[in-house]
A and B are shown apart, each in its own frame.
Chain A
Amino acid sequence: MAHTAHRLARAVITPTTIVLAVIVAIAVYFIVQRYLYGLGAVTNINPGYPWGTWVVVDIVIGTALGCGGFAMALLVYVFNRGEYHPLVRPALLGALFGYTLGGFAVLFDLGRYWQAYNLVLPWYTNLNSVMVEIALCVMAYILVLWIEFSPTVLERFGWSGLRRFVERWMFVVLALGVLLPTMHQSSLGSALLVMGTKLSPLWFTVWLPLLYVTSALAMGYAIVIFEATVVSESFDLPSEHSLLSKMSTVVGGLAAAWLVFRYGELIWRGDFGYALVGDLKAVMFWIENLLMAFAAIVLLVPAGRASKRASFLAAVALLLSGSLYRLDSYLVGYDPVGNWHYFPSVPELMVTIGVIALEILLFLIFIKAFPVLANARPAARNA
C-alpha cells in the first residue's frame, strides 16, 4: 500500500506566483494602515456589525476550507481506507496554510492585539465562552498540522533520525488531528447559539454545531477534489480522477445527509415559512441549498462522478455552498440592534483576498520544495 510522493520539478517564480505576491503585498499595505489608524480606517465594521470578512471569511470560512487534512485523516486513518493515502499530503498542506493564516488573521482583527496573550492565561479563561474552546483548539490544531506535515520536510532534508522519532508517535498526533477539528468546527456553529433572536430561524437552531462540523467535513473532501484537479490540470500531471471519483460517493452522501437533516429539522420545528418570504435571507438560503443539492446529485449519480468536469463543478458548488452557509449564518442571517448595514470595504476585501493569495502562494512553493504530490513523478509527462 505504500506509495511515494515527489517534489514537483518546476520553476518557483512564475507569472502566477508573481501576481500572487503582488496581491499579498497590497494586503500587507492595508494591514499596516490598520495598525496605524485603527480597524475603522480599513474595514467597514460598525457598532451593528462588529465582525466583518476578516472574521467570517478568514477564520470561519478559511478554516472550513482547510478541513482537507481533517477529512482525509478521518477517511484514511480512522476508516482505514488506505487507497486514498496519495491524497493525504496535499490535503495536509492545504490545511496547514488555511489554518495557520486563519490563526494569523486573528491577530490583525483583534482590537487589542497587544493583550492577545490573555487568551492563554488560565486565570483569565472563561470556560463558558465558546470562543475559548475555538481559540485554544485551533491553536493546538495548527501545531498538530505542522507536526503531521513535518516528516515531509524532514524527508526532504534527509533528517531520518528525527523523522523516525516523529513518525513513531505520529498516531497520537493523527488522532488529535481528527479530534480537534471535530471540536472547533462544531464550536464555530455553537458560537452562534448566543445570538438567539438576532439570528434568523433559517440558521438559528440548537443543531448548529452538528450542521457546522458535518458541512466542514464535506468541504474538506470537496477541497481535496478541487485542489487535486487544479494541480493536475495546471501542471499537466497524470489525473487522480479515478481515486477522486471513488471518494465522491462519500462526499455526495455527506452533502445529501446534511441537506435532509437541515430541511427536516427546519420543517419539524415549524420555521420553514421563513424560506418562502422572498427576502434576501430566504434567497441566500435557497442559493446555499441548491448548490449543495447540485453537488450531492452530481456526486451520487454514477455518470456525474465519472465525469472529471462534472465532479469538479460539484466540488466547487459544495465549497460555495458551505462558504455561503457560514457567511449567511454570521452576517446575512443576522439582524443587528439598530439600523446598521455592512458591506466590506475594498481595502478590507483586499486583505482577505491577500490572505487567500498567500495560502495559494505558499502551497505552490511547498509542492515544488517538498515531496508532497504522489503524481508528480519525474517522468510524469511520459506516463
Chain B
Amino acid sequence: MTLDRRQFLKGAAFSGAAGAATVATGGEAAAVMRPPLDMPEKAIGMLYDSALCIGCKACVDACKSANGMPAEIPSTLAAWNENTWDTGESLSGKTLNVIKVFRSGTAKQKDAEDNGYAFVKRHCLHCVDPSCISVCPVTAMQKDPETGVVTHDPDRCIGCRYCVYGCPFGVPQFDVSDPYGRIQKCQFCNHLLKEGKIPACCDVCPTGASLFGPVVELQGEIDRRLAAEPGTNFVFPRGEIGSDRPPHEQAVPRYKKAVYGLTEAGGTQVRYLAGVPFTSLGLPAVGDISYARLAEGVQHTVYKWMLAPIIGLVGLVFLVRRNAADKSGSEDQA
C-alpha cells in the first residue's frame, strides 16, 4: 500500500523535484546514513485539508488563547491596528500557528492554480524523524514515545537556534526582540492532550479542515478523500476523527493527487491535502528523507565508541613524544 503510493507520488511533479534533490547527495551519503526512525504505533497527528479551509482563522485565535501567546501586530500594520487585532503574517516568537493565503491572477476561484486562491496552515509538522531533536545539543526538543508529539523544554534550551536553522519546514522561532527570549513552536497542545482534550485548532475548526486523530486513521481518511469522485457528496468529520461530533457535508474538492507529509523529511504526523500544488502554498520541497539520518550517520561513523579519536590520540602522542624532545626553543637554552 505504502509502496504503491510512493511510486504513484514519484510521478507527481512536486514529489519528483523533491526526489531529485534527495538523489543529489550521491551514493556515499546513502551508505553512511543511519536507518530511518519509525513512527510510534499509536502516533497522533493532524490532517489539514486546504480545500476545506475557509480562512476564518478561528484556529489561529484558539491557538493563541490555548497557549497564552500574545497578539502580533507587524510594524507595517501598526498605524491602523492599535493592539486590537492579531495580524501575524508568519510563524514567529509570538505566533505558533498561522493561516496564509495563496493568490494568483484575479483570485476568483477557490483552490484553482490560475486566477484562484487557497489557504494554508503553518505550524510544526511533528516529524517522524525530527531534525530539531537531532541537532539540539541539550535535548531540549523531545518526541513523546507514545504519541510522537515533539515538545520543547525552555529550561534546558541554551538559545543556540540550531533547531531554527535545521528544521526543514522553518518551524521553531526565537523571539529576538526579547532579551530573555525563548524558542516557540507548536507542541500539539500537549497540555490539552494530557487533560484528554484535543488540540485547540482542531477543536474550533468549523469545517473539519484541521482534523485531529491517530495518524493511521487520518491516512485512511486521506485515502478515502483522494479516491472519491470530485463533485460527489462527502461526509467530512470535524474536530476528532471517529468522534461523535456532527460532521460537515459538501462536494468532494478537486484534490491534487498528493499528500504532503507522507514521505516529506522522512514522514510527518501532520499531513496536508490541497487543491493547488503544495509548492504554491509555500510548503517547501524537502525531499523524502530526514537529513538527521545523514548528520548522525556521519558523526557516529567517525566517532564510533570514540575509537578513531582514541587511536588517533595514541598515535599522535607517540609521534609527538619522539619528535618534540629537541624543540622546546626557549631563551634559557640560548
Contact = CB atoms under 8 A, between A and B. Distances in A.
Contact of B329 (A36, A86, A201): A86
A128 B321 CA distance: 34
A178 interface: yes
A269 B135 contact: no
B158 interface: yes
Given A132-B137, A175-B313, A206 B25 contact: yes
Interface string B155-181: 111111110111111100111111111
Contacts of B159: 110-113, 115
Interface residues of A, number: 91
A178 to B, nearest CB: 5
B177 A38 contact: yes
A85 B164 CA distance: 44
A14 interface: no
Contacts of B329: 2-5, 85-86, 88-89, 374
Given A131-B160, A172-B317, A40 B177 contact: yes
A5 B330 contact: yes
B284 interface: yes
A63 to B, nearest CB: 16
A121 B157 CA distance: 12
A39 B93 CA distance: 13
Interface residues of B, number: 84
A197 B285 contact: yes
B327 interface: yes
B327 A209 contact: no
A32 B291 CA distance: 37
Contacts of B28: 206-207
Given A110-B158, A175-B313, A78 B323 contact: yes
Nearest to B286: A197
B324 A170 contact: yes
Nearest to A193: B295
Given A112-B182, A151-B328, A338-B90, A119 B24 contact: no
A76 B327 contact: yes
A175 B15 CA distance: 49
B316 A175 contact: yes
B170 A201 contact: no
Contacts of A204: 24-25
A195 interface: yes
A175 to B, nearest CB: 4
Contact of A194 (B139, B176, B285, B294): B294
Given A3-B329, A78-B323, 11 more contacts: A47-B91, A80-B322, A170-B324, A175-B316, A193-B298, A194-B295, A195-B165, A195-B291, A198-B284, A206-B298, A207-B28
Closest 5 CB pairs of A and B: A111-B159, A337-B170, A40-B176, A196-B291, A112-B159
11 contacts: A34-B179, A36-B179, A38-B181, A40-B175, A51-B161, A126-B136, A128-B134, A171-B317, A179-B309, A193-B298, A195-B165
